[in-house]
Structure 1
Amino acid sequence: MTQAKLTAGVTPGRLMPGQYQINFADVAPPLDDHQAQVAADRCYFCHDAPCITACPTGIDIPLFIRQIATGTPDAAALTIFHSNILGGMCARVCPTETLCEGDCVRMEAEGEPVQIGALQRYATDGLMAAEGHPFRRGEPTGRRIAVVGAGPAGLSCAHRLAAKGHEVTIYDPRSKPGGLNEYGIASYKATDGFAQAEVEWLLRIGGITVETGHRLGHDMTLDGLRAQYDAVFLGIGLGGVNALRIEGEDRDNIRDAVDFIAELRQADDLATLPVGRDVVVIGGGMTAVDAAVQAKLLGAENVTIAYRRGQDRMSASQHEQDHATSSGVRIICNAMPVAIHGNGAVAEIEFAYTQDLPDGSLNTGEHFRIKADQVFRAIGQRLNGVPDGLALSGGKIAVSGPGRTSAAGVWAGGDCAAGGEDLTVTAVAQGRDAAEDIHATLMEDAP
């Protein structure tokens, strides 16, 4: 993680000490028992429930909600975990408004869906607080699998493989496992160290060893792992960050939004984090929203998200956009950055108004400037270093079926793999499905 040089105007401690805890409290507090019963009673328990189809992990949503309604929330949690072992985090960070809740039949009847995400959190949090682990390992198979990347895809894959009796070693370059769940989402979405608590709970199944501080292409190679293990799963994410490629991008107080979010997530004292008075975030996705809202919560006076296309093209959901604006963030669309001005440090960003054309290109027009003393780039990430011998598709690792790469014995899933949406829940599904295919392949070859 790198931090740009900070200059006057970008300082820590903009708020009174007690305000940080208030600002970064849980954005969606959990349901109590009564609230969960009321929410569950609204479900129609559809036979051909569209919410199941809308869930990338295929959770039987009507079943788990019925289990809550009948007073068996632990059974509901098991229903969830059988499909999505990271159901607790997904309940917090999934864009449910565009997935399960967006397809809820209640939307047609009342315009208000069943609170599927909140009910999922209610059930999973309850079971995770219990002693032990709800899943047991199968009989040892004698097979060993390397999982590279301790993010949602890698953790999901490792847990499913361990449950089937395989020995799994997870390698990750960071000091903590969790991937984007630990380093890449807004603090107010997963409070009280939930990401690490979820990892520790998942590892209780046994048979999984986590080795941190190891990076593919540095202290280990894909060929070396293939020689040492019976199979390899790559869940390496997208380590590179796209540059703006405009004049003045090397000025002080300009940094990547992902680094800012990671630093905030790992901070012991939020009052030590420097933030500007006039912050501009360039991008239109979830990362841009998370960075912008948290800059505002740290005490920035003016925060602006600038996106080069129309608002309907933003990858951040409408719910996330509404959360940003309700938090005091201004969103400017059809604005493309063309230059960054200042004397050493950034002072202004120059934009060109744009117009979306039918062929997907942009037509640029009049220029304007926005005052800024701190800028965050959030214009997408890319694969950073591709292991030799792996075919690519669209800049990501090409996969077929349940994550099979072009190299024998190597699977991939999550953000590094081509196809699908870059969501936690999608990564979990891909890791799970790859594990099932790895198991079937290894058992086929078993004597």
Structure 2
Amino acid sequence: MATGIRTPGIVAGRLPARDLARNFEDLHPPLAPHEAAVAADRCYFCHDAPCITACPTGIDIPLFIRQIQAGQPRGAARTILDANILGGICARVCPTETLCEEACVREAAEGRPVEIGKLQRFATDAMMAAGGHPFERAPATGRSVAVVGAGPAGLACAHRLALLGHDVVIFEARAKPGGLNEFGIAAYKATQGFAAAEVDWLLQIGGIRIAPGNALGAELTLEALARDHDAIFLAMGLGGVRALALPGAELGGVQPAVDFIAALRQARDLSALEIGRDVVVIGGGMTAIDAAVQARLLGAATVSLVYRRNRAAMGASRYEQDLAASKGVRLMFNLVPVALHGEGTVAEVELAVTETREGRLVETGERMRLAADQVLVATGQVLGPVPAGIETDGGKIAVDARGRTSRPGLWAGGDCAAGGDDLTVTAVAQGRDAAMDIHGQLGA
């Protein structure tokens, strides 16, 4: 995919600054105290609450909602954070509509679940606004653990290890921590620098040092980490982007959707961001949806999201699909790109119509073209080279239920590890649980 080639149709300032500010306001404004009390009153406080089972981190949801009902939001936050130290960002980005809220008894009975995500945000925001940190480190153990990657899994692992008294160094390839929470989610889901503020708050536990600009395989080797630390946790995510192996993929105006999102997330001035007039997004997951919606919010006249299978097969939830449609994104199914056309810069995307026959996706022979001066590719990310001696599974690091890899003293979790579902909340659970196993192995 081309980089650095100027494309006439991609320009900055398609919308006035006031419109951009309005477009990128908080997707779900926080609940006021009265609203939180009303929302909490709807909970049945089920004894065998299915919402707890549906939460990958196992938060005691009825308990924290009862604490909000009792006027104790900071107590509710402590309940949440005991299970999920990144409960604030998870309240904003988790697909609650397919997790805890889908399992809610109110959803089954009335088609309207308790607003668990909003209540979780109300509680964790109250905790962060109050200042301080609710957890206290155990006495120092004298043990040191290296964490590779400062995303959700790495941060959750580091916090739990520090809580238990270990010293932790988080080696991060980028210039700042946060991982996908900082660089990879839609800007309207975590506004006002929340992801960075949550990392700063998490680090108040003490005993954690961030070492930016250190990537495994470049500045770091497992041998050196093993020599300097008692255990290693790999949480570097998926750093590579699956290439678009099509004629014309090298044309200007074609870029990975993750790069587009990262640039937007780090931009100080949205009016300085460049966007095409006719944008085509290729993919069907959350990255594709986030890129498509934000392209519209930046002022693209048309945004088409093309996905090779039908709507039901999309990785993005129906809620996110509907959100995209409500923002003017055209969702197009059963279409697969076969070529990009243009003279130096992209001008059209050629698509083949597909259908499923006997369980296999096949082209029907029918084709069409879409005008495009910008193409954002969201066809998946891949793990970079894995150090020798570590078993893999499906292109990711193979781990057991405790997060252990095939190499003694080495654990892994988050998107780089096999068996997950690429959700922030799942990464947090894997980091937390691996930390507990590391702690047990260290015998401290």
Q: TM-score, normalised by structure 2?
A: 0.99
- Contact 2:394–2:418 (CA under 8 A) maintained in structure 1: yes
> Which amino acid is the alignment partner of residue 296 of structure 2?
K
Please name the residue that 1:355 is paired with: 355
Are 1:243 and 2:246 an aligned pair? no
Q: 2: CA distance between counterparts of 1:184 and 1:60?
A: 28
1:100-154 Cα deviation digits (max 9, x unpaired): 0011100121110000000000000000111210000001111000000000000
Q: 2: CA distance between counterparts of 1:284 and 1:383?
A: 19
Q: 2: CA distance between counterparts of 1:119 and 1:5?
A: 46
1:285-323 Cα deviation digits (max 9, x unpaired): 000000000000100000010000111000000010000
- Pairing of 1:332-343 with structure 2 (within 5 A): 332-343=332-343
Q: 2: CA distance between counterparts of 1:357 and 1:171?
A: 47
- Contact 1:415–1:422 (CA under 8 A) maintained in structure 2: yes
1:371-390 Cα deviation digits (max 9, x unpaired): 10000000100001212211
1:14-36 Cα deviation digits (max 9, x unpaired): 11121111110001000000100
Gaps of 5+ in 2: none
Please name the residue that 1:49 is paired with: 49
Please name the residue that 1:323 is paired with: 323
> Which amino acid is the alignment partner of residue 240 of structure 2?
G
Are 1:192 and 2:166 an aligned pair? no
Are 1:212 and 2:212 an aligned pair? yes
Q: 2: CA distance between counterparts of 1:2 and 1:170?
A: 32
Q: 2: CA distance between counterparts of 1:421 and 1:432?
A: 16
How far the C-alpha of 1:360 sits from its partner, in A, is: 3.6
Please name the residue that 1:135 is paired with: 135
Q: 2: CA distance between counterparts of 1:383 and 1:313?
A: 23
Q: 1: CA distance between counterparts of 2:175 and 2:364?
A: 44
Please name the residue that 1:6 is paired with: 6
> Which amino acid is the alignment partner of residue 262 of structure 1?
A
Q: 1: CA distance between counterparts of 2:125 and 2:360?
A: 44
Q: 2: CA distance between counterparts of 1:367 and 1:163?
A: 58
Please name the residue that 1:230 is paired with: 230
Please name the residue that 1:379 is paired with: 379
Judge which range, 361-370 or 304-313, deviates more. 361-370
Q: 2: CA distance between counterparts of 1:83 and 1:247?
A: 48
Q: 1: CA distance between counterparts of 2:439 and 2:184?
A: 30
Q: Which runs of 4+ in 1 moved over 2 A?
A: 1-4, 357-365
- Contact 1:277–1:301 (CA under 8 A) maintained in structure 2: yes
Please name the residue that 2:389 is paired with: 389
Please name the residue that 2:89 is paired with: 89
Please give the secondary structure, in 2, of the residue aligned with 1:346: coil
Gaps of 5+ in 1: none
Please name the residue that 1:64 is paired with: 64
Please name the residue that 2:37 is paired with: 37
Please name the residue that 1:166 is paired with: 166
Please name the residue that 2:368 is paired with: 368
How far the C-alpha of 1:2 sits from its partner, in A, is: 8.7
Q: 1: CA distance between counterparts of 2:10 and 2:135?
A: 48
Please name the residue that 2:411 is paired with: 411
Q: 1: CA distance between counterparts of 2:200 and 2:20?
A: 27
Q: 2: CA distance between counterparts of 1:104 and 1:6?
A: 50
1:205-252 Cα deviation digits (max 9, x unpaired): 000000001111001101110111000000010001111211111000
Q: 2: CA distance between counterparts of 1:6 and 1:159?
A: 44
1:392-432 Cα deviation digits (max 9, x unpaired): 00000000121100010000000000002000000000000
> Which amino acid is the alignment partner of residue 87 of structure 1?
G
Please name the residue that 1:314 is paired with: 314
Q: 1: CA distance between counterparts of 2:6 and 2:186?
A: 22
How far the C-alpha of 1:3 sits from its partner, in A, is: 4.2
Please name the residue that 1:183 is paired with: 183
Change (3 A) 1:224 1:177: same
Change (3 A) 1:242 1:143: same
1:157-194 Cα deviation digits (max 9, x unpaired): 00000000000000001111000000000000000000
> Which amino acid is the alignment partner of residue 156 of structure 2?
S
Q: 2: CA distance between counterparts of 1:195 and 1:377?
A: 25
Please give the secondary structure, in 2, of the residue aligned with 1:305: strand
Please name the residue that 1:105 is paired with: 105
Identity rate of aligned residues, in percent?
63
Please give the secondary structure, in 1, of the residue aligned with 2:422: coil
Please name the residue that 1:299 is paired with: 299
- Contact 1:2–1:259 (CA under 8 A) maintained in structure 2: no
- Contact 2:2–2:249 (CA under 8 A) maintained in structure 1: no
Q: 2: CA distance between counterparts of 1:278 and 1:368?
A: 16
- Contact 1:357–1:363 (CA under 8 A) maintained in structure 2: no
Q: 2: CA distance between counterparts of 1:184 and 1:303?
A: 19
- Contact 2:2–2:251 (CA under 8 A) maintained in structure 1: no
